[in-house]
């Protein structure tokens, strides 16, 4: 479940009520997260990762697809909450694995699909990093291990303040150098302004990059 509206609500009350109320509110938020996780567990799962050698990046999305093709394929394959951010050159939709809601980000370059990014829930609350990000990260790692085997490089889940702030890559914990694609699991920490209070808050989330490796004769000559 995406917590954007819930985060705005909790932010408003953080600056309006005393600490004891904030503690109770955090407890209620954990309970809500548990409830939504159980609710999501009853919904159908999204497709798993594509096997090595497949022409597809994820689902039926292939490198070079146009914006219209990406939108059409996502709708045809039954994905929900599809929307565009044209200025950023991305198409986003919701996917669900192991009771968690993730966001699939299809990144286009010069009008053609270049890579896919899967993002976990973003949040700033005290409990969020350990209760949400860690669990989503663990779910993704287990799923990747089952699909592609052990990674070429891996490290433990990092401490919150060991993650460089506002670094796009964050801390990369796992890397799979596959024959036809690069897969990287990471954890990010970044600052953004809260729309309700204009306060700068530190958010965190896990991310998964899936980038095809171009092995065409042309690309090999350029290297």
* Side-chain half-sphere exposure of 18, counting CA atoms within 13 A: 1
> Of the candidates 117, 116, 183, which has an alpha carbon nearest to the alpha carbon of residue 148?
183
pLDDT digits (tens, 9 = 90+) for 6-35: 444 444 444 444 544 444 445 455 455 555
pLDDT digits (tens, 9 = 90+) for 172-209: 999 999 999 999 999 999 999 877 778 899 999 999 99
Where do the domains of the chain lie? 4-222
Give this prediction's pTM. Answer: 0.78
Q: Encoding tokens for residue 113?
A: 């699909």
Residue 122 burial by Cβ neighbours in a 10 Å radius (0-12, 13-18, 19+): buried
């Amino acid at each position: 479940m995406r917590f954007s509206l819930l985060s705005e609500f909790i932010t408003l009350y953080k600056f309006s009520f005393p600490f004891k109320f904030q503690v109770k509110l955090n407890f209620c938020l954990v309970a809500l997260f548990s409830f939504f996780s159980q609710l999501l567990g009853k919904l159908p799962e999204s497709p798993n990762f594509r096997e090595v050698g497949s022409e597809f990046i994820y689902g039926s999305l292939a490198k070079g697809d146009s914006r219209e093709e990406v939108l059409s394929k996502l709708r045809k394959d039954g994905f929900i909450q599809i929307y565009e951010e044209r200025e950023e050159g991305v198409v986003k939709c919701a996917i669900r694995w192991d009771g968690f809601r993730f966001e699939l980000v299809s990144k286009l370059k010069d009008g053609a699909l270049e890579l896919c990014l899967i993002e976990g829930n973003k949040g700033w609350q005290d409990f969020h990093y350990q209760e949400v990000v860690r669990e989503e990260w663990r779910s993704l790692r287990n799923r990747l291990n089952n699909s592609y085997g052990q990674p070429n490089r891996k490290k433990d889940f990092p401490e919150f303040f060991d993650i460089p702030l506002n670094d796009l890559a964050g801390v990369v914990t796992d890397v799979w150098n596959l024959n036809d694609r690069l897969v990287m699991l990471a954890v990010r920490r970044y600052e953004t302004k809260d729309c309700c209070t204009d306060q700068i808050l530190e958010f965190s989330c896990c991310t998964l990059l899936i980038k095809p490796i171009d092995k065409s004769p042309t690309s090999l000559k350029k290297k």
